[in-house]
Structure 1
Amino acid sequence: MKALISTAKDFLYKTDFEWDKEITLQNFHPQLQIFLAINGVFFNNRESKIRDTFLTGQLLIWRLCWSWIGFISFISVLYVSNTLFYLLYQSTLATQDEHMIRPLIFPMWLPEDDPYRTPNYEIFLALEVILIYVVVLTFGLYVYILFHLLLHYYNLMDVILIALEELFDGLDESVVALPREDPRRQAVQDELNIRMARIVRWHLSVFDSVNDISSVYGPTLVYQVMFSSIVICLMAYQVAEQLSEGKIDYLFGVLGIGACLQLWIPCYIGTLLRNKGFFVGDRCFYCGWHETPLSRLLRPDLIIFIQRTQRPVAIKFTGLPHLQLETFSSIMSNAYSLFNMLRQYK
């Protein structure tokens, strides 16, 4: 058991990974090939602070993605195995009773027939197992890709912060007093323009990518936000009803936790993106421009960039409130109100 846990930990944390060797997307984080086309953009510049920050962020994404996949797989296996174990118990150990009903993963009712008789039972059991498999592949992968992409661009804003800190490093400040036509001043001006253009390009890529994600996932997110409060309320009601009868419905309890997580993840990451976007503007204001005369060469660019950062980085779509923790709190409050209403009018 210890060997299995150690192997899983080494896989998640990449403890056997050689950081000093050549690093590419293929051998570090293959999932990034889904949307990142520039292979090795931050991987092989070993003298830059950006490399370590980027690789550390991608390693965090790697662990979180596998954790989510493991959690979704655990819920699906729990539902299937619970039914199969109970069915095995009925077949081998339980006292045979003419009123004993074979279990289904999800209880069913038919208006003109008995869903628990043969062959209805076998057909519905197979269909429910297939349904769980489809849900894991679609919904689990949907949330996985969503927060994978958002965390990547959150990590990219950390890279922007480092680039702002290094904006004026290693440049000759005395060239400010030289004429504009002087080659030394032109060289420093060109280097500053290259650095600032790279920062602006990364920052714009964050906005463009988040807008693209919103347009692709927007309709799904609208339904997710609209119906999450009802789904969470019904799951909580089922658990509460079982508790009132002296039973613990752990299956619906775990499923309820999953329902809350699938909503909390995008809302929490949306809040992180919004706060990090504002923090980029603060970092630009305190990047040291007031301590160096080189800021005269970039003053208009810095002003425009700071103004640009006042626009929040948000996941938005028609009919969808911004995905933030405030949205999650509102949905959970609605779910609790519906839950109290159901309990009151039982």
Structure 2
Amino acid sequence: MKTLISTAKAFLYKKDFEWDKEITLQNFHPQLQIFLAINGVFFNNRESKIRDTFLTGQLLIWRLCWSWIVFVCFISVLYISNTLLYLLYQSTLATHDEHMIRPLIFPMWLPEDDPYRTPNYEIFMALEIILIYVVILTFGLYVYILFHLLLHYYNLMDMILIALEELFDGLDESVVALPREDPRRQAVQDELNIRMGQIVRWHQSVFDSVNDISSVYGPTLVYQVMFSSMVICLIAYQVAEQLSEGKIDYLFGILGIGGCLQLWIPCYIGTLLRNKGFFVGDRCFYCGWHKTPLSRLLRPDLIIFIQRTQRPVAIKFTALPHLQLETFSSIMSNAYSLFNMLRQYK
């Protein structure tokens, strides 16, 4: 058991990688092959401070993604195995009772028929098992890919913060007093333009990519936000009904945690992106421009960049409120209101 835990921990933390040597995009984080443009910038430039921060951030994304996949698979396997084990117990060890009802993964009711008689029971059991695997392959991977991409761009904004800190490092401040045509001043001006241009490109790529993610995942997010309050309410109602009968429905309790997590994850990351975007503007204002005369060569660029950072980085789509913790709080409040209504008028 200890060996298995050690192997899993080494896999998640990538302990077999030597950080000081050559690391490629493909062997460190295969899912990031869609971001091939950053391969040479963040992986192979071992002299940059950005590299270690970037790799640490990608390692965190790697661990969080696997944690989500393991959690979704655990819930699915738990539902199937719990039902099959109870069915096995009824078939082998339990005393025969003509009123004994065979369990389904999810309780069912039919208006004019019994879902637990043969062949209804076998059909519904097969359909529910198929439904669970469909959820794993679609919804589980959907949330995985969504917060994988969003966390990547959150990590990219950390790179922008480091680049802003190093904006004036290693440059000769005395060239400010030289004429504009002087080669030394031109060289420093070109270097500053290159550094600032890279920061602006990274910042703009965050906005473009978040807009692309919003356009692709927008319709799905609309339905997710619309129906999450209803789903969470029904799960809570099922748990409450079982508690009122003196039973603890731990399966629906775990499912309720998963239902809250699938909504909380994009909302929380949306809040992180928004706050980090504003923090980039603050960091640009306090990047040390007032301590060096080199800021005269870059003043218009800094002003424009600070103005651009006042635009929030937000996941938005038609009929969709911005995915932020405020949205999550509102949906949970609606779910609680529906839950109280059901309990009152049951």
Do both share a fold (TM > 0.5)? yes
Q: Give the Å deviation of 1:173.
A: 0.5
2:265 aligned counterpart, secondary structure: helix
| C-alpha deviation, 1:337, in angstroms | 1.1
CA offset at residue 38 of structure 1? 4.0
TM-score w.r.t. the length of structure 1 is: 0.98
Distance in 2 between residues matched to 1:28 and 1:209, nearest whole Å: 22
Give CA deviations for 1:249-283 in whole Å, capped at 9, x if unaligned: 11110000000000000000000000000000000
Shift of 1:55: 0.2
Aligned-residue offset at 1:33: 1.4
Offset at residue 125 of structure 1 (A): 1.4
CA RMSD of aligned residues (A): 1.1
* Structure 1 residue 122, shift from structure 2 partner: 2.1
Residues 133-187 of structure 1: CA distance to partner in whole angstroms, max 9, x if unpaired?
0111100000000000000000000000000000000000111111111111100
Q: Evaluate the alpha carbon distance shift between residue 38 and residue 158 of structure 1 in structure 2; reply closer, same or farther with a 3 A threshold.
A: closer
Q: How far apart are residue 127 of structure 1 and its match? A: 1.6
Contact in 2 for aligned 1:321/1:327 (Cα 8 Å): yes
Q: How many residues align?
A: 346
Structure 1 stretch displaced more, 21-30 or 31-40: 31-40
Quote how far apart the aligned CAs of 1:111 are: 4.3
Deviations for 1:214-233, whole angstroms, at most 9, x for unmatched residues?
Answer: 00111111111111111111
CA-to-partner distance for each residue in 1:6-33, whole Å, 9 max, x for gaps? 1111111111211122111111011111
Uncovered stretches (5+) of structure 1, i.e. residues with no partner: none
In 2: Cα distance, 1:215 partner to 1:71 partner: 28
Q: Could you tell me how far apart the structure 2 residues matched to 1:10 and 1:192 are?
A: 42
Shift of 1:112: 4.8
Structure 2 vs 1, CA of residues 288 and 38 (structure 1 numbering), >3 Å: closer, same or farther? closer
Instruction: Give the aligned partner of residue 217 of structure 1.
Output: 217
Q: Which moved more, 1:123-132 or 1:163-172?
A: 123-132
Q: Secondary structure at the match of 1:80?
A: helix
Structure 2 unaligned regions, length at least 5: none
Deviation at 1:106, TM superposition (A): 1.5
Task: Tell me how far apart the structure 1 counterparts of residues 327 and 53 of structure 2 sit (CA, whole Å).
Answer: 30
In the alignment, the residues of structure 2 paired with residue 114 and residue 345 of structure 1 have an alpha-carbon distance, to the nearest angstrom, of 26
Secondary structure (helix, strand or coil) at the match of 1:90 reads helix
Question: Do the aligned residues in 2 keep the contact of 1:168 with 1:294 (CA within 8 Å)?
Answer: yes
Contact 1:151/1:269 (8 A) holds in 2: yes
Aligned CA distance change for structure 1 residues 336 and 109 (closer, same or farther; 3 Å) = closer
1:109 shift after superposition: 3.2
Q: Label 1:37 to 1:190 Cα distance change in 2 as closer, same or farther (>3 A).
A: closer
Deviation per CA, 1:309-345, whole angstroms, max 9, x where unpaired? Answer: 0000000111111111111111111111111111122
Q: Deviations over 1:275-296 (max 9, x none)?
A: 0000000000000000000000
Distance 1:136 1:36 in 2: 28
Instruction: Give the conservation status (yes or no) of the 8 Å contact 1:23–1:40.
Output: no
Percentage identity across paired residues of the two chains: 94
Q: Quick one: distance in 2 between partners of 1:7 and 1:214?
A: 37
Name which of structure 1's ranges 58-67 and 215-224 shifts more when overlaid on structure 2. Answer: 215-224
Say whether residues 1:48 and 2:48 are aligned partners: yes
**Superimposed CA distance per residue, residues 28-81 of structure 1 (whole angstroms, 9 cap, x where no aligned partner):** 011111444443430111111100000000000000000000000000001000
Give the drift of 1:113.
4.0
Q: 1:269 to 1:214 in 2, by over 3 A?
A: same
Matches within 5 A, 1:103-122: 103-122=103-122
